Amino acid sequence: MVTPEGSAAAPVKAPFDLAFAASALIDDSGTVVGWTAAAERLLGYPAAEALHRPAATLLASPQQAARAAEMAAQWRGHGDWGGLAGTRHRDGRRIEVGLRVSALTAPDGQERWLVSAIDLAHTPSWAVSSTILEGFLTRSPIGMAVFSPDLRYVWLNETLEHFGGVSRERRIGMRLADVLPGMDTAAMEAVMRKVLLTGEPVIDHEFRGWTLAAPYRERSFSLSFYRLDDAEGRAMGVCYMVTDVTDRWRARARLALLNEAGACVGSTLDVTRTAQELADVSVPRLADFVAVDLLEPVLHGGEPPPGHELGRVPLRRVGMRSVNPGTPEPIWAVGERIDVGEASPHVRCMTSGHSEVEGDIADGRASWLTGDPARMAKIRESGGRSMMWVPLRARGTVLGVVTFVRHRRPVPFENDDLLLAEELAARAAVCVDNARRWTREHEAALALQRSLLPQTLAGGMALEIAYRYLPTDIQDGVGGDWFDVIPLSGARVALVVGDVVGHGLTAAATMGRLRTAVHTLADMDLPPDELLAHLDDLVIRLAEEESPDESVATAVTGATCLYTVYDPVTRRLTMARAGHPPPAVVDPQGRVAFAELPAGPPLGLGAMPFESAELELAEGSVVALYTDGLIDTFGTDLDVGLNRIAHALARPGLPVRELCSAMLEHLPPGPPADDVALLVARTRALAADRFVSWELRVDPAVVSEARALATRQLAGWGMEELLPTTELVVSELVTNAIRHASGPIRLRLIRQSVLICEVYDGSNTVPRLRHARTTDEGGRGLFLVAQLTRRWGTRYTADGKLIWAEQDIPDSTAG
């Protein structure tokens, strides 16, 4: 290089190794102070003409001269920079060159600039290609940049300048971390180093970050890197291409969020849980805080009001979620009533059916809260930047409103966010409406089941009764479990437990039909095995009648039942079951056993006959009847459930109410998976002074003796008020037995809550109540008995029959 002093400047290694470059040295004032032969060949100026002239005169236009001066001032002391420029040849033609400018310090301490230029029209093929593509690359919609081997910007196009919001002047000669603070630039530089080292390109490396200039947005870019080599294959730098794929990224994020919402929202048929799931899935990916408010009728399964009345129906907060621990943002807590007027965005969006978006809610624009300064201050304290109100609407019915809030992210909600929120709300609304409908059906089924189950149960003097009923979880609906205590003749009591297949209104209605049938059959005083046989026939008939409706037929067929009868006089328990778990029997010492009772088929199958079994119980024994919901809870091994029941019952002397509670203690927390019906009874024996019986011979003369025996017994019990009626009943029943029956005759009186008169004979003939005409001489006996007593009936035994009648005992003699 020729300098004014004729000496050569010290060689400087630039970031590019420019083997074909023409060089010039320029001092701090912009004057050419060094000129090379290559520079003379490039621009035509000999050293004598080039030295001491302003370097700006060598550029093609004043604008480029001004730009060069600006760049020199900006990059003073910051190393090298470069780019493309137009220069002016001595003969006036324009020459496009690639420039590289390096800062130097002369021996005298003065600052110099070493400018290296390459003629793009007379350079190797890679440089020629760069010239041809320069216009295309500069105007390409794809951002492009070239980095030196030490990973500094040496060139970028306008598109990349726009992507990052950082000007070209601030990038040239700088590293990524210098111009993109806050981003993970170390990862990008690691990729570029790998490309420089291996020469293998990297395609579609996704990178996300925030723009550095307003308006601030989070964006996603697809980066591709490849190495730039010279003709000898030496690495000259790395080029990377940038494509804005924010739309693709957001579309993927929206799709992922919607997919997750489809899997998470509506996992149960519980209204409040569904609302909470919507809030959970929306934070933090869509909003920083979400609240779900439902109309109060929706919470109870009711129908929401029409649109013009929505403003008068209260809202209640049922779910919310925040990015902040403890959820400090809400002005209404979960469970609170939302007090907003008809002018509020909550009501407006529900009434119109259209969502609303508000930009900055912290600047006092929340006019719907102007009358509530405390809550207005709460909004301002939360730092809310943007809000959306989206109606929850399904099947043409408005169910509530969802509020989305941003306070951490600087970006307000945009149209894409609103579309996503509306899609989430629409999907969640269908789930909420399904839960509402299930809630309504569940409540209706519960009400039906409660009306069909006994309201009060009493065991009289025979049994001490306690019971529990736990309805199933709302997920499956109300089941068909039922229980009953039925007073029978002769101071006996029937204990019944049954289970209908399925859940819901159909199961509850079927349970009511079976319970009514059992009551009717029990009034016929049938033995347990015969009663189940008749019930089985009824179920088969019902299934045939309901065959077009598969749900009803299925609910009836396969039902189970356990029917037991306890006689406090003999202390005997007679049992039969149709596919139901056996009863647990506990003696007074606390020893537990499950009755060995033939299982019998479930009702409606008509497969095998039912068999009964009989046990004699000590006074104070406990009998526990239950449905399979109590034992199936513990898994497929029913023995585990039976052992737990036995363990809970092995507590002698514990009141039956506490025994019920002990049996339920081992159930998992929360509503059971199946209905649980539990009926526990402690036996009592009828005291010997409360009943008496006499054997009578078959002789008409014995009728007067029977009256006398009954009269003396009632006098002994202090029941003289019942003597006239009792004498008539005894006369008629004994006379009928002598006249129409055979075999031995037995008269028995039982005193409990009623006075019972029983006459047994060995015949199976059925007595018939007749309505005699005025001209008939007889036939009025049973009619008079029916008119004068509380009730009467016939009960068959293994060797005969028994006719009985009951009378109410006056309060004065009831003890």
User: Across the strands, what pairs with 25?
Assistant: 34, 114
Read off the tokens for 144: 């492009």
Across residues 666-680, what is the average pLDDT?
77
Return the pLDDT at 127. 45
Return the pLDDT at 126. 44
- Region of 365 please: left (phi>0), alpha (psi -120 to 50) or beta: alpha
Which DSSP string corresponds to 716-761? HHT-GGGHHHHHHHHHHHHHHHHHH--S-EEEEEEESSEEEEEEEE
3-state secondary structure 302-356: CCCCCHHHHHHCCEEEEEEEECCCCCCCCCCCCCCEECCCCCCHHHHHHHHCCCE
Q: How far is CA 523 from CA 696, 761, 795, in A?
A: 28, 20, 10
- Model confidence at 37, in pLDDT bands (50, 70, 90)? confident
Return the pLDDT at 76. 60
Say yes or no to pLDDT of 785 above 50. Answer: yes
Q: Pick from 238-242, 356-360, 475-479, 656-660 the range whose average pLDDT is largest.
A: 656-660
Residue type, 710: A
Cα dihedral value 39, 42, 44, 48, nearest 10: 0
The alpha carbon of residue 773 and the mean position of all alpha carbons in its chain are separated, in whole angstroms, by 72
User: Which helix (H) or strand (E) is 155 found in, with range?
Assistant: strand 153-156
Q: What is the pLDDT of residues 101-130, one digit of tens each?
A: 877 766 667 778 888 887 766 655 444 444
Distance CA 498, CA 477 (A): 17
- Model confidence at 775, in pLDDT bands (50, 70, 90)? very low
Say yes or no to pLDDT of 631 above 90. Answer: no
Read off the tokens for 482: 């039922």
**Would you tell me how many other CB atoms lie within 10 Å of the CB of residue 110?**
12
User: Across the strands, what pairs with 586?
Assistant: 592, 622
Q: What is the pLDDT of residues 534-576, one digit of tens each?
A: 999 998 888 887 656 665 666 678 899 999 999 999 999 999 9
Q: What is the pLDDT of residues 520-539, one digit of tens each?
A: 999 989 999 999 999 999 98
Read off the tokens for 549: 């409706």
- Model confidence at 18, in pLDDT bands (50, 70, 90)? very low
User: Across the strands, what pairs with 696?
Assistant: 745
Q: What is the pLDDT of residues 130-188, one digit of tens each?
A: 444 455 555 677 888 889 888 988 888 888 877 767 777 788 888 888 888 777 888 88
- 744 and 752 Cβ atoms separated by less than 8 Å: no
**Dihedral sign, CA of 210, 214, 217, 219?**
negative
Per this entry, what is the length of the chain? 815
Residue type, 308: H
Distance CA 369, CA 239 (A): 56
Cα dihedral value 594, 595, 596, 601, nearest 10: -100
Q: What is the DSSP letter of 597?
A: -
Across residues 772-796, what is the average pLDDT?
73
**Dihedral sign, CA of 624, 629, 630, 635?**
positive
Distance CA 581, CA 597 (A): 9
Residue type, 448: L
Q: How far is CA 671 from CA 156, 476, 674, 734, in A?
A: 66, 11, 8, 56
Return the pLDDT at 810. 84
Say yes or no to pLDDT of 634 above 60. Answer: no
- 154 and 172 Cβ atoms separated by less than 8 Å: yes
Average pLDDT across the chain, whole number: 81
| Backbone φ, ψ for residue 448 (5° rounding) | -65, -45
- 610 and 542 Cβ atoms separated by less than 8 Å: no
Report the interhelical angle of 505-523 vs 528-545 (nearest 10°): 140
Residue type, 658: E
Lowest mean pLDDT among 254-258, 331-335, 645-649, 690-694: 331-335
Q: What is the pLDDT of residues 480-506, one digit of tens each?
A: 888 999 999 989 999 999 998 877 777
- 115 and 34 Cβ atoms separated by less than 8 Å: no
Lowest mean pLDDT among 418-427, 551-560, 711-720: 551-560
What residues contact 233, with CB distance under 8 A and at least 6 apart? none
Read off the tokens for 792: 């009467």
Across residues 44-64, what is the average pLDDT?
86
Distance CA 64, CA 85 (A): 7
Return the pLDDT at 273. 93
Across residues 436-444, what is the average pLDDT?
82
E-only strand ranges, 369-447:
386-394, 397-406
**Dihedral sign, CA of 164, 165, 171, 174?**
negative
Query: Which one has a higher pLDDT value, 301 or 522?
Result: 522
Distance CA 353, CA 279 (A): 20
- Model confidence at 5, in pLDDT bands (50, 70, 90)? very low
- Model confidence at 16, in pLDDT bands (50, 70, 90)? very low
Which of 764, 767, 769, 768 lies closest to 742, judged by CA? 764
Which of 204, 207, 237 lies closest to 220, judged by CA? 207
Q: Pick from 303-312, 325-334, 728-737 the range whose average pLDDT is largest.
A: 728-737
Query: Which one has a higher pLDDT value, 442 or 440?
Result: 440
- 507 and 453 Cβ atoms separated by less than 8 Å: no
- 570 and 495 Cβ atoms separated by less than 8 Å: no
Which of 419, 423, 387 lies closest to 403, judged by CA? 387
Lowest mean pLDDT among 125-139, 196-210, 258-272, 624-638: 125-139
User: Across the strands, what pairs with 224?
Assistant: 241
**Would you tell me how many other CB atoms lie within 10 Å of the CB of residue 19?**
12
- Model confidence at 269, in pLDDT bands (50, 70, 90)? confident
Distance CA 147, CA 223 (A): 14
- 102 and 172 Cβ atoms separated by less than 8 Å: no
Residue type, 232: E
User: Across the strands, what pairs with 316?
Assistant: 294, 337
Across residues 66-91, what is the average pLDDT?
71
